[in-house]
Every structure is written in structure tokens, then in C-alpha cells.
Chain A
Amino acid sequence: MLDKIIEKSRIKSPWIYHVNAGSCNGCDIELIALLGPRFDVERFGVKLTGTPKHADIVFVTGPVTAQTKDRMLRVISQVPDPKVIVSLGSCPMSCNVFKGSYSVVGPLDKWVPVDVSIGGCPPKPEAMIDGLIKALDILKEKRGVK
């Protein structure tokens, strides 16, 4: 019975953490706008945490640059299971306008397994809410370490 309560609580309180792997900050600003009064995602139980060890869903923005690649991998490996990795914007999907640059090492799914990708440059906040709901569905399927 405790398992059923834990599974229901997992989708009702997702805590998010945000990693900027070299982005132009457009997607970051739209992500923080989600927590304001107009698109209040706190009604889904979402809270922005300050440390990756408290988070369930990780949002990654920006094409992965050579300088941030190691740090991004270290931060994402510290997120406890069960976790969902969401890539925000079209930069992590295919490096957008920065393709072929000397400092960009590739789309995000070369380095970490990505569960949900949200397209757009920058994505509209309503599209981010759609992506969040899809990430919650995927989180429901995953099992953590009990």
C-alpha cells in the first residue's frame, strides 16, 4: 500500500533543476517565466531546487560546448533515480545555428539518454507545459531504488 502512495506522489510533486550547457539564455528566461503568475506551474507541484541532489526532472538548454561537457555530465550523474532528462529548445537537439563550430561537441543525445525533447527557438511556455506533462507520464513508468 505504501508503494501505491509513493507512486502517486511521484507524479504529483516533480522538482526541477536546470543546467545551462552553453545556451544563449533565451530558453532559460522562458523556463523561469513558467514560475510566474501567468503560467503558474506550482499548481502541478513543481519547485525549482538549488542542487541536483534534490531534483527529479533535469532541463538542459544549449548546444553542448566543449567547456561545459564534463561539468554537465558530472552534474547529471548526481541526480538520484528515478529521473527524467528533458532537452529544451532546438539547440540540444541538433545545435541549431552553431553546427560545425569549433567549440560545439554535438547534440545532447550523444552524451546522455534524453527522454523528452521540446522543440522551438525558444519554445512557447505552453509547449513547455506540454513537455512537462509528457515527462510526468514517463516518470510514472520508471522505478527508483527503494
Chain B
Amino acid sequence: MEVLKTLLQQMFYVLIFPGFLFCFIFGLFLSGIDRKMVARMQRRIGPPITQSFYDFFKLVGKDHIIPRKASKKAFLLAPVFGLISIVIISLFIPIFGFTFQESTADIIVILYLITIPALSLVFGGSSSGSAYASIGISREMVTMLSYELPLVMILLSIGKKAGAAINGNVTFSLADIGKYQSLYGIIISKWALIPAAIAFLLIIPAEVGTVPFDAAEAETEICEGPLVEYSGLYLGIYKLTQAVKMFIMGSLFLALFFGGSGFSNIFLNIILMIIGVIITIVISVSFVRSILGRLKVEQTLKFFWTVPTALSAISLILVYLKY
């Protein structure tokens, strides 16, 4: 009886909230809100907010064409792995003190799961056998190299700050970080970690794959890069992965820097998280997208290994000096 109850609860977490259904719906809404805000900043009427739903269902109803030179199994399985791994991350991120999956090393799991969608783009692109796709995947690999370094340094500095108060070592568990924030105040109020917050906001557009760091895909000069031979349902899965990644990055930002206990009611916490994620995405993705052009891939590498790396290194050194 107990086994059945926990099994049903785990299935509810995986399939409904915050698993597949909630991630799909909220991710597609976020993608629509992003397009609408970009249009308003450019003084146009944009598409309606539910536009991404119409895009996804239209792609489900289209014919899919598999090129003759492609290797079929990798071509069809690559997008599915990306989608599954990005949805699983949502089980590890706490919503203001309510955790779904307790573990002692959340951050390491999240770090390796968050690179899998970018790798699935590389696999899908290289298995389609097109010359345009091979340019796109080499640019995607360079972009992945460039943003992993500051991301790891930010997570280390927050882990050290929270862990020093709890057990003296670096902590890798988001639940512990949440506990530290509910006892000592939210992390963004500690002045030593403000450069880390700015660096994290600069990393979000590169993870999501929008302008100015999207030299890999969605570029009209190489016919959309790795996605050039995809059509129909599999293209819809890639677009869905990008939308869910926006939700995951926003929610991670909230859990790391604004976490804690929030209100005591679970529903008010969920509403607070939704509003927080929308504001984060509007500031870091839509605003930057509407005013900047696209950087070349060498410029992306140079930018990420100077500015965000310097900011997060400053935070790391200040934390280790016990500020």
C-alpha cells in the first residue's frame, strides 16, 4: 500500500507537475511571452501569447522527410533524448523550499543533464549528412565550451557560501542552499555574490540559444544550421526543448539566488515562481534579443572567457576570503 502510494506520487511528479505536462505548457507560454515582448519593444503588435502552441501542433501535422544520406536511427532518436533529459532536471529544482527529489549532489546531476540538449543538437545535425549542418555543429560545440566555464564557477561559489555556514565544506545540494537562504536571507543580498548573479544572467541567452549568442542555429546564412534537414514532428520536439530550457534556466536562477522559504502555502509559492521566471526571462532573453545583433563565434568565445569568467572569479575569490 505504501509502495503503491509512493509510486503514484512519483508518477505524478514525473508526468504532471513539474514533469512533462507542466513543463510543456509553461515552456510554450514563456516562448510566446518572449516573442510578444520583443515585438512590443520594437513598436509592433506581436503574435498572440499562445502562438507557440499553434506552431507545435502545426508541426505535428506536417509530413516529415528523411534525407537519403542520413543515418536513420540517430536522426530520429536525437531530439527525443534531448527532450527527456531537460524535463528530468525539473524534478531536482526546489520551488521555495518544497523539494521533489532529495539528494546530496543535485548540482552535479544538473550540470551534466543540462549539456545533453546541446549535445542532441550536435548528434542530430551530424547525422543528417548535410554540409550546412556540419558548420552549425562546430559552432555549437565552440559555444558550449565557452559558457560551461563561468557556469561551473558560479555554482562553486554559491555552494561554498552556503556550505560554509552549514558544514564547512562546499555543498552540492540545492535543498541545502534553500535551507541556508531561509535561515540567513536570500543570496542576492550578500554583496559578494552580486557579480555571480550578473554573470548568470549573461549565460542564460547562450544556453537557450537566442541572439546574440546563437551563431550555431537559427541563422539564415547557413540555413538554420543543425536543424536544416528536420521537418514535422522532430522539428517540433527541438522547438519544444528550447522552450522548456527557458523555463529550467529561469527556475534555476530563482532557486539559486532568490530561494528560501517564500510563503507557507504551496499554491502561493507556485504563483510566485511563475511570476519570477517570467520577469527573469523578459530581462535576460527578450530585452537583449531586441536590441543586439548576432556575434560571430570567435567573438562569443572571447566574450565568455573574459567578462562572465572575470565576474564569477571575483565572486569565488571573495567567498573564499570569507566575505
Contact = CB atoms under 8 A, between A and B. Distances in A.
A9 B54 contact: yes
Interface stretch (B62-70, B104-112, B161-169): B62-70
A119 interface: no
Contacts of A7: 61
B100 interface: no
A83 B235 CA distance: 17
Given A45-B54, A145-B63, A50 B224 contact: yes
Nearest to A38: B44
A42 B231 contact: no
Interface stretch (B45-53, B176-184, B312-320): B45-53
A51 B60 CA distance: 18
SS class, residues of chain A in contact with chain B: loop
Given A40-B45, A43-B45, A145-B63, A54 B235 contact: yes
B230 interface: yes
A12 interface: yes
Contacts of A80: 62-65, 231-232
A54 B229 CA distance: 9
Contacts of A144: 61-63
Nearest to A5: B57
A49 interface: yes
Interface residues of B, dominant DSSP: loop
A103 B55 CA distance: 40
A: interface residue count bin: 20 to 34
A97 to B, nearest CB: 30
B223 A51 contact: yes
A53 B48 CA distance: 25
Nearest to B45: A43
Nearest to B224: A50
B224 A54 contact: yes
B81 to A, nearest CB: 21
Contacts of B230: 53-54
Interface string B212-237: 00000011111110011111100100
Interface in A53-99: 53-54, 56, 78, 80-82
A42 B219 contact: no
Contacts of A10: 58, 61
B39 A49 contact: no
A81 B65 CA distance: 10
Interface string A8-26: 1110110000000000000
Contacts of B227: 51, 54
B189 interface: no
Residue from B58, B221, B224 with most neighbouring chain A CB atoms (10 Å): B58
B223 A50 contact: yes
Contacts of B220: 48, 50
A66 B223 CA distance: 24
Contact of A9 (B46, B58, B63, B65): B58
Given A9-B54, A50-B219, A37 B61 contact: no
29 contacts: A5-B57, A6-B57, A6-B58, A6-B61, A9-B53, A9-B57, A9-B61, A10-B58, A12-B58, A13-B55, A37-B43, A40-B39, A43-B44, A43-B46, A43-B48, A44-B47, A45-B47, A45-B54, A49-B224, A51-B223, A51-B228, A53-B65, A53-B230, A53-B231, A54-B230, A54-B235, A78-B65, A80-B62, A80-B63
Interface of B: 35, 39, 42-48, 51, 53-58, 60-65, 218-224, 227-232, 235
